[in-house]
Amino acid sequence: EENGHQNKRLKRDADEEDAEDQNKKSPKRKIVLLMAYSGKGYHGMQRNVGSSQFKTIEDDLVSALVQSGCIPENHGEDMKKMSFQRCARTDKGVSAAGQIVSLKVRLIDDILEKINNHLPSHIRILGLKRVTGGFNSKNKCDARTYSYMLPTFAFAHKDHDVQEEVYRLDKETLEKVNKLLACYKGTHNFHNFTSQKGPRDPSAKRYIMEMYCGEPFVRENIEFAVIKVKGQSFMMHQIRKMIGLVIAIVKGYAAESIIELSWGEEKVDVPKAPGLGLVLERVHFEKYNRRFGNDGLHEPLEWTEEEEKIAVFKEQYIYPTIINTEKEEKSMVNWLNTLSIHDFNSSVVGMQANNKNSKNSSDLEGSDGCDDDSD
């Protein structure tokens, strides 16, 4: 028995020495991780410490970082200790193919493999790069690209097209969709596309670089299309409302002039498309890459080598989740049925309420031009 206890003690001492050696060999370094995840069943990306009933992507990530030995346990409890920052705060149910987080970790051997071993299969770390000590993934990001995958019957005209899954998008309708989406390009006042921002709140002005809808494709006998949007930053619900308004116009519920009207001071009732289908595609660090990407010490934050892994992950986890959830829960069908109740005429009462809001806006949604509220 005594020998047994002694052996256990010796093993424990040896393990502690190994861990110490590992720590000496693996000093903490600032890195970024490229993440992909299917957001279904999660209450968004950002961890809510103290409310464990709402599971987030970061809960699973932090747990995997601790278990793999990249960070000590107390860093998991207080994320500031590892200088943790996510690039975008994706909302409940929203997926990502190219999320970036920055943090300090011990650069242990086979680090990606070890982290992934402690993650569920629908969350993967696809890449890692060393960055400068002061790097912050949120503040250094100059733009974000999102995609929104939707069944094309969302664009069927309410009066004369088939409304169900047998609908197929014709060339003229796709051209109309793209003409409307292109209207969003440039800098506009998007106060009508979020909540808690009045028309005179400077943070409601956002810059959109591109927005378009790609060619449709058929999956599980339903035709889908993907809308891509690249912008400097987005406010809460902004993308879903931008898409919701275009759908309302194409279906014949609202006039085209409403887009222009929505940027004015008046309150406009802008419908919010379902969250299902929204994916954070990639984040851009163009200024950082110009300054540090070729300095001989750091790599540019580009992920060309990981593109194939990203595509495989989307095909395995993101697209099937969107398609199957749409088939089972009919989120787009149910939402389209609510469009007729919207009042697409401006409301003076709403405008007065919004003006009042802008004077005492507490700016809950982070509007420093870099804080991406995503959705």
Domain spans, the chain: 28-139, 142-286+297-304+313-350
CA–CA gap between residue 267 and residue 280 (Å, rounded): 29
Residue 138 has pLDDT above 70, yes or no: yes
pLDDT tens across 161-215, in order? Answer: 999 999 999 999 999 999 999 999 999 999 999 988 999 999 999 999 999 999 9
Annotated binding site for substrate: 146
Alpha helices in the chain (DSSP H): 2-25, 57-68, 73-77, 111-117, 171-182, 238-251, 258-262, 286-292, 307-313, 319-329, 331-336, 348-359
pTM of the model: 0.84
- Burial profile 277-288: b = 16 or more Cβ within 10 angstroms, e = fewer: bbbbbbbbbeeb
CA–CA gap between residue 86 and residue 42 (Å, rounded): 16
Annotated binding site: 146
Residue 91 annotated as catalytic = yes
Query: Would you state the pLDDT for residue 4?
Result: 61
In order of 236, 322, 326, 340, the CA distances from 91 in angstroms are: 9, 15, 18, 26
Question: What percentage of the chain carries pLDDT values higher than 70?
Answer: 84
Report the top-level CATH class of 142-286+297-304+313-350.
alpha beta
Query: Would you state the pLDDT for residue 298?
Result: 83
35 — phi, psi (to 5°)? -115, 145
Query: Would you state the pLDDT for residue 369?
Result: 31
pLDDT tens across 50-97, in order? Answer: 666 789 999 999 999 999 999 998 887 888 889 999 998 888 889 999
* CATH code matching the domain that covers 28-139, chosen among 3.30.590.10, 3.30.70.580, 3.40.50.40, 3.30.830.10: 3.30.70.580
Burial of 175 (0-12, 13-18, 19+ CB in 10 A): exposed
Q: Are strands 95-106 and 278-284 parallel, antiparallel or unpaired?
A: parallel
CA–CA gap between residue 316 and residue 17 (Å, rounded): 41
> Among the options 15, 21, 78, 91, which is catalytic?
91
Decide whether 28-139 matches 142-286+297-304+313-350 in CATH topology.
yes
